[in-house]
Structure 1
Amino acid sequence: MEPGGRRERRWRQLQGPRQEAAEYYRDHRVPQRMEEALNALFPLRPADLYGELANYFSKFSKAPVICKLVGRKVLDGVGQPTLEVEIYCTVKNYEKRICSTVMSFHSQIPENALPETNEADEKERNDSVNTAVEWVSDSLNTMLRDLKPTDQCKVDEMLGEYFTKQAEFKKEIEKQEEAAAEVTLALTSCTPSATALPGGKKAAKPGRKVSAAERMIPPAEPVESVLCGSLAIGATSLAIAKAGATVSRIPLYLHIALLKHGQDLPKEMTLPLPMVTLLNCEKIPPAKLKLMKEVMLIPPVQLSLKQGIERVLDIQKEMTRLLESPGKVQSSPRLADSKKGKAHNTGKKAPVKGKYEILTGMFKSPDEMVDMYVELINKFPFIIALIDPLRKEDRQQWNNICCALGSKCYLIAEDAATCISKLKSDQKINIPMCSGVVLKYINQTKVSDLIELTGLVDGQRHITILGSPDGESSDDSLVDLAVGLGARFIKLGGLSRGERVTKYNRLLAIEEELAKNRTLREANLEFIAFDEESQPEKQLSEVLPPPTQDSLPPQLSQRPENSTLT
């Protein structure tokens, strides 16, 4: 027993080091040799190698394509129903939600509508949003499936064709209804009108007779009808642009800039200057200030956007202190905290008896309006912009005011640019003579439309302003659109309410990003001197001289704040 026990103990003594050596070789030598071999071939760690291999093979996978569109009824910033569009794409054989966007509902209200009808009809709004949801989730979902979200032009072309078909279908239905109404009227109206006067004479209209030499305001143009469900077109186009930026892994403003410049990214980009609403002069009966709708501040160009916003906030706080001081009666204007979308037409220049009503009971002819604005700018040279100083139909007076004040301030047309589909006509901007236009992304407007229009505006030496629509949402895509399109200004409203502040914060974030990448170019202000002998029907590119370096009044660089009136 003893010899056998010794042999067993000896075997165990020899087996231990042998087993330890085998385990050490297995645990260390082989992986070490493999790592040495991999490092010799690829100077990367195994984890990095696997990532590089994954990225390499992913290049051979199919590009992301649209697989599903979802329309949803949501609420905007004032609690009204509007449309949200979600985009889903097939990415590496998996369905993935890419982005969403919210489109603000916009409807034009007749100028002479009664106060109680100024708000959009609730039933009409609900019908339009419901129709838009149906278009997105049904027709557009089927039509755009399997397209690349980066192919914006093709998508917008298909969206435009779909909208045209829907508009033609609506016209056919309206013609049939009109024909049926005429037949019914012919059968029921067999007696002459009881209101007709003997001898066929028409009743005289009351009012003072106006001399032929006195120029009156032209009649208002008819309101452009809005196709029910049209906001589905604009919302889908913008959602596709956001999806294209997401799959390309670039910010939306860079994606828009690439689309505008034919995939050639500008070396530097300029931020649009914000037009910050300080005072809102609407809805202050009975002594309403009808000349002005709102007073806005534009930060000086020599300040950064962050510094400019801080300065505007300081002014806003001071205005609040002055308006709320004890013992003082609050003046008619109020801080810009009212809800947009409510009675948004009350700020128009009201025509009464062919004249402008600048104050309750105070009227001025079109010629007197031009003289009044000239006196205003001469007295307050730091007003650098007037938005809609005249009605859009009064084209002759637009020509006169541009010749008188074009070299001293910007004269901006906003109401005339509301219907984007009517702006372009034979490579011209079909608006009164002006310094620039306010473009709003509403209804059937597509991203390609804005790119084409801003290119045309730039070519005719106008300036572009991107404006927030009446019904706001927290979607901040408007800011990226303004930066990518190279807009000179952006009009977002006051520094209050979450849906507006979100957009200002996005503008600040873009400024920080561009400054970090050293691609931020300083903004500038150059006014344009119009030729006094030019006619409004001519293209601005034919009548405007090149801008001069001294076109900006020297006082502007010395004042802490610029301002504008609308």
Structure 2
Amino acid sequence: MTIIKQLSAWEILDSRGRPTVKARCTLNSGAVGVVSVPSGASTGAAEAHELRDNDPARYRGFGCRKAVANINSEINAALVDRSIDDQHELDALLLALDATTNKSRLGANAILAVSLAFSRAVALEQGRPLYQHFATMQGLELSTLPRPTINLFSGGKHAGGQVDIQDVLLVPASAQTMDEALAVTFAVYQSAAELTLKKYGTRSLTADEGGLAPPFPNTETMLADAVEAIELAGYRAGHDVALAIDVASSHFYQDGVYNLDHEQLTSSALIERLASWLRRYPLVSIEDGLAEDDWDNWPALYTRISPQALVLGDDFLCTNPARIQRAIANQAANALLLKVNQIGTLSEAARACQLARLAQWRVTISARSGETEDDWLADLAVGWAGDQIKIGSITHGERLAKYNRLLEIENETHLPLAAWPGTSLRGI
């Protein structure tokens, strides 16, 4: 039994300068868990509801004082001095207290902050690392570290829309340790910065998640420049370093048409465009290749590209068990991008992860565009045996906090990097 002595919260700023929530959970034992939660810019329509103040005179309506007040008052009053068996019971109490389908009354940001702060406090109370606590929660043994997929170039909502798709990411495929993966990424990133300075005359200005964001004329150029940067760094594209893309198709989908690179494409035409990129570039993962509600065409996307690449769902799935079950039944994807704040509690995210595993999907644990310096995501990805982790680029302190935590965990555990799906070696 664990007894909560006090819950408190306050407003802080995320990596975009927007408010978010930080919470403290103090247990009767004296253990204290403090957590800050992220916020997304590229958000799916099915995500749990972030409670914002909507006061245009303060942070243009993005303030989180209401969510903070809900923790300090109603949630604290409901949970203080309660004997709680485990994370599942705590989260069930939070869901019952909110009593909405999307956490809109108390706010998913308030609920998640409490859920995570409680978990960190319990880990401290039990004297074990947070990653081990997360593993125990899922009944898992520690086995590998997640292989990073790391932002190189950004577009879409993360970079002012200079190109339609959201991200091109590096997959350090032949790296056998996290240390090696980050060193390889650094070399490619620097080559990319030099390349874009030469081609576009741009300094190393970065997008929300740290990716470089020069004025690419189209997606093809973005992909070709990524390959060139890999080769300039002295690596073999498709062997030492592969690519992944976050298409974020919902953001250029309107009235049944995809507006990509100044063309209007049907769902079938977009699938063929993605397939052509697979043939010509070393792509191993395609995220949100179709819009979040284009359900009828996701099975065709899966059939077309799954033999060569992961069909990864982000906005499409929203870490939502009901959407994941539907996608499994329809054979619409084979990988889940897991963002805990899309669903709002650790227990629900754990259920989403379990469903994906039962379907033999791969799981990528992901950060958000609006992040904080908190590093709990690294522990979650290790504890929940994430196949991949998506944090952002190797710039910006809120990203580096998580990469540095992964290096620390690697130093403690000596765990190997997870193999890429379908390979017997750690590299592709």
Tell me whether the two structures share a fold, i.e. TM-score over 0.5.
yes
- Partner Cα distance (1:82, 1:245) in 2: 24
Alignment of 1:19-418 (within 5 A): 65-91=3-29, 96=30, 98-106=32-40, 123=56, 129-147=64-82, 151-164=86-99, 167=100, 226-227=104-105, 229-261=107-139, 266=141, 268-282=142-156, 288-290=162-164, 292-325=165-198, 328-330=199-201, 337-339=206-208, 348=250, 350-351=252-253, 354-360=256-262, 362-380=263-281, 382-418=282-318
- Partner Cα distance (2:381, 2:76) in 1: 28
Question: Could you say if the C-alpha distance between residues 488 and 246 of structure 1 is closer, same or farther in structure 2, counting changes exceeding 3 Å?
Answer: same
Report the counterpart of residue 172 of structure 1 in structure 2: none
The alignment's TM-score, normalised by the length of structure 2, stands at 0.79
- Partner Cα distance (1:368, 1:335) in 2: 34
Question: Could you say if the C-alpha distance between residues 418 and 226 of structure 1 is closer, same or farther in structure 2, counting changes exceeding 3 Å?
Answer: farther
Structure 2: give runs of 5+ residues left out of the alignment: 46-51, 211-245
Offset, 1:500: 0.7
Contact 1:457/1:463 (CA < 8 Å) preserved in 2? Answer: yes
Question: Could you say if the C-alpha distance between residues 495 and 340 of structure 1 is closer, same or farther in structure 2, counting changes exceeding 3 Å?
Answer: closer
Report the counterpart of residue 446 of structure 1 in structure 2: 345
Contact 2:40/2:370 (CA < 8 Å) preserved in 1? Answer: yes
- Partner Cα distance (1:246, 1:476) in 2: 15
- Partner Cα distance (2:160, 2:2) in 1: 59
- Partner Cα distance (2:42, 2:182) in 1: 32
The alignment's TM-score, normalised by the length of structure 1, stands at 0.61
Question: CA-to-partner distance for each residue in 1:435-455, whole Å, 9 max, x for gaps?
Answer: 212121216611111221111
Contact 2:324/2:352 (CA < 8 Å) preserved in 1? Answer: yes
Question: CA-to-partner distance for each residue in 1:415-447, whole Å, 9 max, x for gaps?
Answer: 112263643559x75887112121212166111
Contact 1:282/1:347 (CA < 8 Å) preserved in 2? Answer: no
- Partner Cα distance (2:413, 2:44) in 1: 43
- Partner Cα distance (1:283, 1:139) in 2: 35
- Partner Cα distance (2:208, 2:161) in 1: 21
Contact 1:86/1:101 (CA < 8 Å) preserved in 2? Answer: yes
Question: CA-to-partner distance for each residue in 1:319-376, whole Å, 9 max, x for gaps?
Answer: 1112223xx4348xx96722259xx99874523563322212x222222222222222
Alignment of 1:419-438 (within 5 A): 420=320, 422-423=322-323, 433-438=332-337
**Structure 2: which amino acid aligns with 1:509?**
E
Question: CA-to-partner distance for each residue in 1:506-532, whole Å, 9 max, x for gaps?
Answer: 1111111111xxxx24421224xxxxx
SS of structure 1 residue aligned to 2:391? strand
Question: CA-to-partner distance for each residue in 1:142-178, whole Å, 9 max, x for gaps?
Answer: 22223457621221111111121xx38xxxxxxxxxx
Question: CA-to-partner distance for each residue in 1:387-409, whole Å, 9 max, x for gaps?
Answer: 11111222343212222221111
Question: Could you say if the C-alpha distance between residues 136 and 526 of structure 1 is closer, same or farther in structure 2, counting changes exceeding 3 Å?
Answer: same
Q: What root-mean-square deviation, in Å, do the aligned CA atoms of Structure 1 and Structure 2 show? A: 3.4
Q: Which moved more, 1:142-151 or 1:274-283?
A: 142-151
Q: Percent identity?
A: 22
SS of structure 2 residue aligned to 1:269? coil
Question: Could you say if the C-alpha distance between residues 354 and 445 of structure 1 is closer, same or farther in structure 2, counting changes exceeding 3 Å?
Answer: closer
- Partner Cα distance (1:99, 1:69) in 2: 10
Contact 2:158/2:166 (CA < 8 Å) preserved in 1? Answer: no
- Partner Cα distance (1:64, 1:378) in 2: 54
Contact 1:289/1:359 (CA < 8 Å) preserved in 2? Answer: yes
Q: Which of 1 and 2 has higher RCO (CA within 8 Å, sep 6+)?
A: 2
Instruction: Name the larger-Rg structure.
Output: 1
2:375 to 476, 482, 488: 476
Question: CA-to-partner distance for each residue in 1:112-152, whole Å, 9 max, x for gaps?
Answer: xxxxxxx9966498687222222211222222223457621
**Structure 1: which amino acid aligns with 2:258?**
Y
Contact 1:245/1:251 (CA < 8 Å) preserved in 2? Answer: yes
